[in-house]
Structure 1
Amino acid sequence: MKKLKIVIAGGGSTYTPGIISALLSHIDRFPMEEIRLYDNDSKRNEDMQLIIEQLLKEQNHPEIKLIAEENPKAAFVGADFIFSQIRVGGLEMREQDEKIPLKYGLVGQETCGLGGFAYGLRSIKGILEIVSYVQEYAPNAWILNYTNPETLVGEAIRRVYPGIKMINVCDMTISIEETIAENYHYDRKNWVPTYFGLNHYGWYTEIYDKSLQRDVMPEIINKMREKTMGVAEFNEGDQTWAEAFKMMSTIVEYFPDYIPNNYLEYYLFPDLVVEKTNKDYTRANMVMEGREKNTKEMARKIRAGETENVLNFNFGEHGNYIVDIATSLLNDEHRRFMVITPNRGSIPNLREDAVVEVPAYIGATGVEPIALDSINDFHKGLMEAQVAAEKLLVDAYFEQSYQKALQAFTLNQSVNSAYVAKQVLDEMIEVNKEYWPQLN
């Protein structure tokens, strides 16, 4: 089998070790000869290069060449797979995304609400740039995208590069499934879940367990109503995630038909979320003092010559999920995953041009979404409003339209006032001058 050249776009990300670890654990199905870390932040990329070099030594893979690159041509030319996980503006802008809406009494979150929309306007420019490099230097490569917010990114890519070999995926559904399985003593590997929605905005309608030969979702819902879930091992000690999974039980108590994505708390209970959020110390600050600090410390120790027990990271299924998709593509395995893809009838009574998250089989030719049943008015109404808001935001990007951006901010399901939406938008414009298109 041909040995592959892979690129991690956003190579300095703290999630890079998880992806590389997963790639190494699947080396028999996904043989590599070269790993390229591409990032426009040279310091972070250099730190990550040290960490991955140490990882390759510990995993006994001296044959794999590792390079860190800021030059697009050198990074992408001749690549076979690109794993994209860029964060335009870094954690500093994530902090603005979270804290500005909170100042006005709205949800402050990196991918949801108006913070997610601010991040989306930055991400569109960044991901279009990455795709343009791939088109120029590696037109036959597959792009596997983790860059958020994924439905906004997917909508922008759909318009500019409709035929691109790109798959947008999110590991949140896998994290939810792992957490449920760990709490209630199931084996997720036996599950065939059915799910519909948008990115970070969806519901499970069935979880068929092959070993038990039945749909276990009704009993899981009952268990969630009886006992709040704790976090899984990979989120151990993280109070934010503990609160999120606790809120899942509240959502199920109100709407017991389906199991929700936990991110729906930001849309169904925005007032409760704002009430319990520290406006001065948000998730961005936690990440800066957690994963970011830990990564810098690992790099510092390696530079100082320390090599024993230096590597320290646990990212759950994040890396495994995207690598499983890569192996399914490479080896035509036709395995089933949740993917973010143009609807085109997968949800028959939702607009065809929506970018949705649904189950799909992945083989050598790409994504083959499954056909789902029609959804009911409650879920359809929620989704249609959010889809319309997201499309307006992408319109605003391409048309440089202030009016479309204001409409999108006003229609976002976490917002209850056009007056407040305008205040947040105007402040977001000021802090994002370096990243957003000029809105007229």
Structure 2
Amino acid sequence: MKICVVGGGSSYEPELLDGFFTYEKEMSIDEIHLLDVEEGKEKLKIVTDFAKRMAKKKGSKIKIFSSLDAKEAMSDADFVIFQFRPGFLDGRERDEKIPLGYNLIGQETTGMGGFAAALRGFPIMEKYIEYVRKYAPNAFVINFTNPSGHMSEFVLNYLEFNKFVGLCNIPINLIQYIADTYKVERDKIFLKYYGLNHLSFVEKIFVSGKDKSEEMLGRSREALKEEGYPEWVVDALQLYPNSYLRYYFMTQTMLSHELEELEEGKLRSMVVKGIEKELFNIYSNPDVDEKPKELEKRGGAMYSTAAVELMRDMITGRHAHHVLNVRNNGGIANLPDDYVLELSCDVNGENVFPISVGNAQPFALGIIHIIKQYERLTIEAYRSGSKNKALQAILLHPLGPGMEKAREFLDDLLRANKGWIKELK
């Protein structure tokens, strides 16, 4: 069993490795290969050395390798995990700052920041998918690279590579919250969950086969209040909204908050840069051989659990439910089969089937359709090199600039990402 991690020098890596060490016997893991690029060479070495110390402390027999060569790292891999960041953290900082200069939401996956990240990510994703086809033809790919849903749409529907799912830690954290509330294991929870990555809704909640939707949605008011939602939202929608939907439905509040953070030098990208520096200082210490507590500040809680448990269930062939980014294929009856959605799925070996749960509510349908067409226009802009398609995409997006500023904004964004984003004509 060989696993390759693309973006292996990430500060998240010890979290993922800790999961592999926990399940290594059940999964029969032999080797983990960490792959990165020349610019990440120093971080890759630090993470690799730390990973080997972690393995020794855990008594693990997994062999850890690192490489800058895709052929070496990927050859004959059983699983390939994508967690690379197109443009690195400097790219993320641009994704936050440039939209804010136009009084638009600046966020790494949602709105115009997500638009820029996607355009940077497509050529890299295309390259690595080609490497997988060439060097690891039997591998299954699990994607964390953001914007994860947009990347999944690109790979599944445009690159037509099918052994691929997009993954996010938000669903598993929600399931854990419900499981903790009812004091049961996560496998006792089933959700009628649908939408796009970072744009999803929960309509029904079942605990040990019993419908707890009304009760749980009532309890969720307090949790949503902590996220900034008004208390009446659940009653009005009869849906539990993803926290990222605040950017769409509380735009001015979220924008004001971001502008304050920019003024104070506390944009998330700036904070993350500081956390990363702290983490790599810790990882560099030859006496440290355990995942540090400070890693929790980086975010991404339970992302390791989501990935490792999915892979475990694929390897062992046990039936299990996971929330994944896959083609709809009848999961939601009133949405097209070829939409890549974030859905409750049945996993049996490498067979991943969306679970048919009926129709989505009209409110959810409206925004899903709009953002899906935005995703596709963005992909078409990349594939055709068309600036007009890019303008259509940002004009369609609810968080994009209006016609007064669209061309100016796009030119600024392309200029700032020169060398990362394909030239548009």
TM-score (norm 2): 0.92
Q: Secondary structure at the match of 1:208?
A: strand
Instruction: Spell out, residue by residue over 1:81-109, the C-alpha distance to the aligned partner (whole angstroms, 9 max, x if none).
Output: 11111101111100000111111111111
Question: Do structure 1's residue 223 and structure 2's residue 219 form an aligned pair?
Answer: yes
Residues 1:125 and 1:338: Cα distance change in structure 2 (over 3 Å): same
Residues 1:195 and 1:309: Cα distance change in structure 2 (over 3 Å): closer
Question: Do structure 1's residue 51 and structure 2's residue 50 form an aligned pair?
Answer: yes
Match of residue 283 from structure 2: 299
C-alpha distance in 2, partners of 1:368/1:214? 23
Q: Secondary structure at the match of 2:390?
A: helix
| Partner residue of 1:262 out of 243, 265, 268 | 243
C-alpha distance in 1, partners of 2:78/2:346? 21
Match of residue 85 from structure 2: 87
Match of residue 27 from structure 2: 30
State whether residues 6 and 81 of structure 2, in contact with CA within 8 Å, keep that contact through their aligned partners in structure 1. yes
State whether residues 179 and 189 of structure 2, in contact with CA within 8 Å, keep that contact through their aligned partners in structure 1. no
Offset, 1:14: 1.5
Match of residue 60 from structure 1: 59
C-alpha distance in 1, partners of 2:25/2:79? 16
State whether residues 80 and 140 of structure 1, in contact with CA within 8 Å, keep that contact through their aligned partners in structure 2. yes
State whether residues 50 and 289 of structure 2, in contact with CA within 8 Å, keep that contact through their aligned partners in structure 1. no
Offset, 1:64: 2.1
State whether residues 234 and 240 of structure 2, in contact with CA within 8 Å, keep that contact through their aligned partners in structure 1. no
C-alpha distance in 2, partners of 1:364/1:311? 33
Offset, 1:172: 1.2
Match of residue 122 from structure 1: 120
Q: Secondary structure at the match of 2:190?
A: strand
State whether residues 181 and 188 of structure 1, in contact with CA within 8 Å, keep that contact through their aligned partners in structure 2. yes
Offset, 1:310: 7.5
One-letter code aligned to 2:58: Q
C-alpha distance in 2, partners of 1:301/1:429? 40
| Partner residue of 2:381 out of 384, 396, 413 | 396
* Aligned residue-pair number: 414
C-alpha distance in 2, partners of 1:154/1:374? 22
Match of residue 376 from structure 1: 361
Residues 1:176 and 1:426: Cα distance change in structure 2 (over 3 Å): farther
State whether residues 15 and 291 of structure 2, in contact with CA within 8 Å, keep that contact through their aligned partners in structure 1. no
One-letter code aligned to 2:220: M
Offset, 1:348: 1.9
C-alpha distance in 2, partners of 1:371/1:293? 45
Instruction: Spell out, residue by residue over 1:246-301, the C-alpha distance to the aligned partner (whole angstroms, 9 max, x if none).
Output: 224557357340111111111111111001122243111111112x1232112332
Q: Secondary structure at the match of 1:206?
A: strand
Percent of residue pairs bearing the same amino acid type: 28
Question: Do structure 1's residue 177 and structure 2's residue 183 form an aligned pair?
Answer: no
Aligned 1:180-259 pairs, distance under 5 A:
184=181, 186-187=183-184, 189=186, 190-210=188-208, 213-225=209-221, 227-228=222-223, 245-248=226-229, 250=231, 252-253=233-234, 255-259=236-240
C-alpha distance in 2, partners of 1:46/1:396? 37
TM-score (norm 1): 0.89
Offset, 1:66: 1.2
State whether residues 221 and 256 of structure 1, in contact with CA within 8 Å, keep that contact through their aligned partners in structure 2. no
Q: Secondary structure at the match of 1:167?
A: strand
C-alpha distance in 2, partners of 1:187/1:104? 47
State whether residues 298 and 310 of structure 1, in contact with CA within 8 Å, keep that contact through their aligned partners in structure 2. no
Residues 1:249 and 1:33: Cα distance change in structure 2 (over 3 Å): farther
C-alpha distance in 2, partners of 1:188/1:410? 44
State whether residues 178 and 189 of structure 2, in contact with CA within 8 Å, keep that contact through their aligned partners in structure 1. no
| Partner residue of 2:262 out of 262, 279, 293 | 279
C-alpha distance in 1, partners of 2:231/2:271? 25
One-letter code aligned to 1:84: F
One-letter code aligned to 2:144: Y
Residues 1:248 and 1:100: Cα distance change in structure 2 (over 3 Å): same
Offset, 1:171: 1.4
Instruction: Spell out, residue by residue over 1:359-383, the C-alpha distance to the aligned partner (whole angstroms, 9 max, x if none).
Output: 1111224211111222232211111
| Partner residue of 2:16 out of 3, 16, 19 | 19
One-letter code aligned to 1:194: K
One-letter code aligned to 1:130: Y
C-alpha distance in 1, partners of 2:289/2:63? 22
State whether residues 410 and 421 of structure 1, in contact with CA within 8 Å, keep that contact through their aligned partners in structure 2. yes
Q: Secondary structure at the match of 1:176?
A: helix
Q: Secondary structure at the match of 2:332?
A: coil
Instruction: Spell out, residue by residue over 1:294-315, the C-alpha distance to the aligned partner (whole angstroms, 9 max, x if none).
Output: 321123322xxx3476844345
- Point out the more displaced range, 362-371 or 80-89: 362-371
One-letter code aligned to 2:239: Y
Question: Do structure 1's residue 347 and structure 2's residue 332 form an aligned pair?
Answer: yes
Q: Secondary structure at the match of 1:359?
A: strand
C-alpha distance in 1, partners of 2:392/2:232? 28
Offset, 1:160: 4.2
Residues 1:134 and 1:246: Cα distance change in structure 2 (over 3 Å): same
One-letter code aligned to 1:407: Q
Aligned residues: CA RMSD: 2.0
Question: Structure 1: which 5+ residue stretches go unaligned?
Answer: 230-242
Residues 1:253 and 1:81: Cα distance change in structure 2 (over 3 Å): closer
Q: Secondary structure at the match of 1:66?
A: strand
Q: Secondary structure at the match of 2:333?
A: coil
Offset, 1:120: 0.8
Question: Structure 2: which 5+ residue stretches go unaligned?
Answer: none
Match of residue 371 from structure 2: 386
State whether residues 175 and 189 of structure 2, in contact with CA within 8 Å, keep that contact through their aligned partners in structure 1. no
Question: Do structure 1's residue 39 and structure 2's residue 36 form an aligned pair?
Answer: yes
C-alpha distance in 1, partners of 2:183/2:409? 44
Instruction: Spell out, residue by residue over 1:118-159, the C-alpha distance to the aligned partner (whole angstroms, 9 max, x if none).
Output: 101111111111111111111011111111112221121124
| Partner residue of 1:405 out of 390, 394, 407 | 390
Match of residue 75 from structure 2: 77
Match of residue 237 from structure 1: none
